[in-house]
Amino acid sequence: MKSDLLLSRAKEIKPWIIQKRREIHRHPELMYEEFVTSKLVQDTLKELNIPFQKDIAITGVVGTIGNGNGPCVALRADMDALPIHEETDIEFKSQIDGKMHACGHDCHTAMLLGAARILKENEGNIEGTIKLIFQPAEEGGAGGKMMRDEGVLKNPDVEQIFGLHVNGQLPTGMLASRDGTLLAAAGSLKIIVKGNGGHAAAPHNTRDPVITGSKIVVELQTIISRELNPLESGVISVTMINGGDAWNVIPSKLEIQGTIRSLTLEGLNILQKRVKEISEAIAIANRCEAEVTFPGHDYPPTVNSSTCWNLGKSVGKDILGDDKVIDMPPIMGGEDFAFYTQEIPGCFAFLGVSNSEINATYDVHHPMFKVDEEALPLGTAIHVNCALESLERLR
C-alpha cells in the first residue's frame, strides 16, 4: 500500500480513531485493572472481524492479521492510566477522580486500533502475520514482561516489534528515536528509617529518624555527583518522604521513596548497591536502623536495533516528510517495551503531540497534559507502514 494512500485512509478514519481515544480517556484504569478498556479493544476487534486472544497478563489482548504464510511482526500499545487527577479543560476529561491518561496510553491504544482497521481492509495483500499487542500495566507493573512470559512473541515467533509513544515536547507530526539505547533501566527505592520517637521538646531522649532520613536523602545525591563517571548517565531521585503525625512529636519511623535510573542494568545494580550501603551506614551512625528495598520491577533499558530504527526512519519520512524525523539522544525515562526488545529486535519511537495553539504544551505525567489529536492518524499510518514494510523486508 503506497504511503500517500495509506496516510489518506488514516485521515479518513480520523473521527473513528479520535472517538475511540476519547472513550478510553473518559474511563482511565490503573495497571491490571484495564477491564473496560480491554473490552473496548475486544469489541472493536470483533467488529473488524479480527481474531484475538484475551485475558493475557490479566487484561491483555492480542489480535492477529494476515495469512500466516511468511514472517511475523508485532505492533504494541499499552492501555493503563496513572493515579493523577486530571486538571485539563477538555470536554471528555476523566470521569474518575484521581485517575487520568496522563501518559497518552489512550492515544496509543486508539492509534493501534486504527492500524488494525486499515490492516484488516488490506489483509488480502499481507503475506505473513501481524500481531497487535494491547498490553496492560506499563506504569510500574511490568505488563510487557508478563505478556512476553505468557508467550505473545511465540506461535508464530515474532521477528520484529514496533511501538509508538506520544511526546508532549515534540511538535505534532515529528517522529524521534535513535539506534541503540533510547531509554534507561529503571527501578524504585524504598527506605524505612526506624528510630525511637518522643517529645519534640526533648530530642535527646529520642533517636530521630527525621534527621537521619534527611541526611540519607542528601548523601544519596553524592553517589551521582562523586561516584559516577561524569560521562555516564544516572539518576537517583527521592520523590516521597512520609513521617510523623503531630508538630510536637518526633516520630519513630520515616519512609523515603524514589527512583533509580541508569542506561544499563549493570549500572542500575551498582547504584542500588550503593544506596543500600550508604543508607544503612548513615542510619547506624545516627543510632537508627535503615531497611532498604527496591520494590516492584527493575525495567531493563530500551534498546533499538539499528535495522528496525532505520526502517522506522524510512517509514516515518514517507508518512511525515524528510524533515520531520530526527535522531534524539537517550533519555532517563523507562519503558517496559524493553522486555520485548530483550528477546527480539525492535524499535520504540516518540510521536509529537505538542501544539501551543490548543494549549497542548505540558508533557506526560502532568495533570494538564493534553494531546493534539491531529497526530493520531499519523501514528496509525506509521504503525501500518512499519508492519507492512517489516514483513516485506523479512521475506
- Between CA 276 and CA 279 the distance in angstroms is 5
CB 192 within 8 A of CB 290: yes
Paired with 134 in beta bridges are 61, 77
In this structure, what CATH number is given to the domain that contains residue 195? Answer: 3.30.70.360
CB 309 within 8 A of CB 179: yes
- pLDDT, mean of residues 229-255: 96
* pLDDT above 90: residue 317: yes
In terms of domains, do 175 and 193 share one?
A: no
Paired with 237 in beta bridges are 259
Residues in Cβ contact with 181 at an 8 Å cutoff, skipping those fewer than 6 apart: 263, 264, 301, 302, 303, 304, 330
Of the residues 259, 293, 327, the one at which a domain ends: 293
Listed residue (200, 261, 253) closest to 236, CA to CA:
261
* pLDDT above 90: residue 222: yes
Listed residue (376, 253, 243) closest to 319, CA to CA:
376
The confidence band for 300, taking pLDDT boundaries of 50, 70 and 90, is very high
Residues in Cβ contact with 175 at an 8 Å cutoff, skipping those fewer than 6 apart: 312, 313, 316, 320, 324, 325, 326, 349, 350, 351, 352, 382
Three-class DSSP category at 191? strand
- pLDDT of amino acid 129: 98
Of the residues 293, 327, 342, the one at which a domain ends: 293
Paired with 176 in beta bridges are 326, 350
- pLDDT of amino acid 242: 98
- pLDDT of amino acid 157: 98
In this structure, what CATH number is given to the domain that contains residue 132? Answer: 3.40.630.10
* pLDDT above 90: residue 1: no
- pLDDT, mean of residues 374-381: 98
In terms of domains, do 15 and 156 share one?
A: yes
Residues in Cβ contact with 147 at an 8 Å cutoff, skipping those fewer than 6 apart: 56, 57, 60, 133, 135, 136, 339
- Between CA 297 and CA 387 the distance in angstroms is 30
In terms of domains, do 9 and 121 share one?
A: yes
Three-class DSSP category at 225? helix
Helix H or strand E segment including 320: helix 306-320
Three-class DSSP category at 298? coil
* pLDDT above 80: residue 178: yes
In terms of domains, do 207 and 195 share one?
A: yes
Of the residues 293, 312, 335, the one at which a domain ends: 293
Paired with 327 in beta bridges are 177
Which triple of cell numbers denotes residue 262?
Answer: 541508569
DSSP codes joined into one string, 83-129: S-------TT--SSTT-B-TTSHHHHHHHHHHHHHHHHHTGGG--SE
* pLDDT above 80: residue 14: yes
Q: What is the mean pLDDT of the chain?
A: 97
In terms of domains, do 248 and 331 share one?
A: no
- pLDDT of amino acid 395: 87
CB half-sphere exposure, 341, CA atoms < 13 A = 30
In terms of domains, do 167 and 240 share one?
A: no
Domain region containing 27: 3-182+301-394
59-81 confidence digits (pLDDT tens) = 999 999 999 999 999 999 999 99
The confidence band for 156, taking pLDDT boundaries of 50, 70 and 90, is very high
Share of the chain above pLDDT 70, in %: 100
Listed residue (137, 136, 79) closest to 104, CA to CA:
79
In terms of domains, do 160 and 214 share one?
A: no
Number of folded domains in the chain?
2
In terms of domains, do 216 and 279 share one?
A: yes
CB 176 within 8 A of CB 90: no
- pLDDT, mean of residues 342-347: 98
DSSP codes joined into one string, 76-89: EEE---BS------
- Between CA 312 and CA 385 the distance in angstroms is 9
Residues in Cβ contact with 116 at an 8 Å cutoff, skipping those fewer than 6 apart: 44, 45, 48, 50, 63, 65, 132
Q: Is 366 exposed, middle or buried (0-12, 13-18, 19+ CB in 10 A)?
A: middle
Q: Which residue has the cell 555516564?
A: 232
Paired with 53 in beta bridges are 62
287-298 confidence digits (pLDDT tens) = 999 999 999 999
- pLDDT, mean of residues 132-154: 97
In terms of domains, do 254 and 228 share one?
A: yes
Helix H or strand E segment including 37: helix 35-47
In terms of domains, do 29 and 133 share one?
A: yes
Between β-strands 72-78 and 129-135, what pairing exists: parallel, antiparallel or unpaired?
Answer: parallel
In terms of domains, do 138 and 195 share one?
A: no
- pLDDT of amino acid 44: 98
- pLDDT of amino acid 13: 98
In terms of domains, do 316 and 372 share one?
A: yes
* pLDDT above 90: residue 2: no
Paired with 326 in beta bridges are 176
